[in-house]
Amino acid sequence: MGLSMVRSDQPARLYGETIRVSLWAVLGLWLARRLARLFLLIVRSPSAVIAITVTAAGVAGWKLVHWVLPVSVAAVLATGLVGWWMAWPASFEQDVRLRWRSWWRGQLIYRFRWTKAMDTAGLTKQRHGTDYVPPLRRIRSTRSVDRVLVRMPLGQTVEDYALVADRLAQTFGVEVCRVRSVPKRRHQVELWLLVHDPLDQTVAPFPLDPDCLTKGIPVALAEDGTVWRLQLVGTHVVVDGATGSGKSEGLWGIIAGLVDQIAAGLVKIWAVDPKGGMEFAAGRHLFDRFTYGDSRSGGSYEESLAVLLEDAVQVTRERQDRLRGVTRLHTPSVAEPLIVLLIDELAGTHRLGE
């Protein structure tokens, strides 16, 4: 009965034993962590490893042997790079120039501004007083596009980055930022940042490729400066777009890319032009068959178009009979060339089946 029944609302305060650590130990631990991160950064960057190795070798040669040695090595390296650039420009572009561009743009533009960019764009997540910045994984650059690979923190989606694409473009000083998912990597997103548009000027015709039937026909220039190839054998292609969007350029790109194969007899083009031949008339000397309708014929205007399409169906069925049980893919040859059926304004031929 003498025990007090009063309960205090004040929590009990427990103090742990204070451990005193030397200031030098704290500074040493901080320095060790910084050096470890610097070491990992260098090891993960082949360019940094090469630069440090070459610099160390040059200093050692200067000090231990003679100044002529590092100068001679540098001259040999410079001569080798120039020879590489002159003899194999495509390989030099891919393995030297673009790798160097990826490194310096990644360090000076993206990694330097990354934390602030994620914060101002609203992509930094805070939990229990800790800021979680989306990790920047990799930067790959072409002459016109920087491809930045990002690992998304838990809870984020690709749409979160698409909503702030304009802010990211302004932050990094590029024309536009396109957001793309990464196949089979759901925790990652890739930002395509367009530094300058390579399509704002006329694109010169591509050189003819003798292997275009296997590697694809070079028909277009992509935003990242690479050549887009159309795999024609074994496929069907539909080119769709509004008036003035460039559909005709795609068709003429196919025709131009097949000139050598047409001359060799491996390809025959059957062209259907419902607009009276106005679109394909300039290339009629390249076509094996060319039909465009006849307003003066006794039958319907589209009769000749229907006849050509029926002939194409008949050739297809005959080849199916010969290839049945042998292969599913026709191999072009002079005896049996690849027939490319080009139809301009497909909507204009809709009445043929009525």
pLDDT of residue 61: 65
Three-class secondary structure assignment of 114-164: HHHHHHHCCCCEEECCEEECCCEEEEEECCCEEEEEEECCCCCCHHHHHHC
The H-or-E segment that residue 343 falls in is strand 338-343
DSSP-derived secondary structure for 281-333: GGGGGG-SEEE---TTSSS-TTHHHHHHHHHHHHHHHHHHHHHTTT-SSPPP-
pLDDT band for position 354 (cuts 50, 70, 90):
very low
Question: How many Cα atoms sit within 13 Å of 185 on the Cβ side?
Answer: 11
Which residues are CB-contacts of 115 (< 8 A; sequence separation ≥ 6)? Answer: 124, 133
Residue extents of the structural domains in the chain: 28-194, 212-349
* Residue range 110-121: mean pLDDT, rounded: 89
- Choose the weakest-confidence range: 2-16, 86-100, 116-130, 208-222: 2-16
- Choose the weakest-confidence range: 22-36, 102-116, 207-221, 230-244: 230-244
Q: How far apart are the C-alpha atoms of 210 and 220, rounded to whole Å? A: 17
Pairing between β-strand 267-272 and β-strand 338-343 as defined by DSSP bridges = parallel
pLDDT of residue 327: 84
Which residues are CB-contacts of 136 (< 8 A; sequence separation ≥ 6)? Answer: 110, 111, 114, 148, 149, 150
Q: How far apart are the C-alpha atoms of 341 and 310, rounded to whole Å? A: 12
pTM above 0.85, yes or no: no
Task: Determine the angle formed by the axes of helices 23-43 and 46-64, rounding to 10 degrees.
Answer: 100
Q: How far apart are the C-alpha atoms of 133 and 123, rounded to whole Å? A: 7
Q: Is the pLDDT of residue 110 over 80?
A: yes
pLDDT of residue 215: 87
* Residue range 330-336: mean pLDDT, rounded: 86
Cite the beta strand spans of 128-266 per DSSP E. Answer: 130-132, 136-141, 145-151, 176-182, 185-194, 217-221, 227-230
Q: What are phi and psi of 100, to 5 degrees?
A: -65, -40
| Residue range 174-225, pLDDT digits in tens | 999 999 999 888 899 999 999 988 877 788 888 888 888 888 888 888 887 7
pLDDT of residue 170: 92
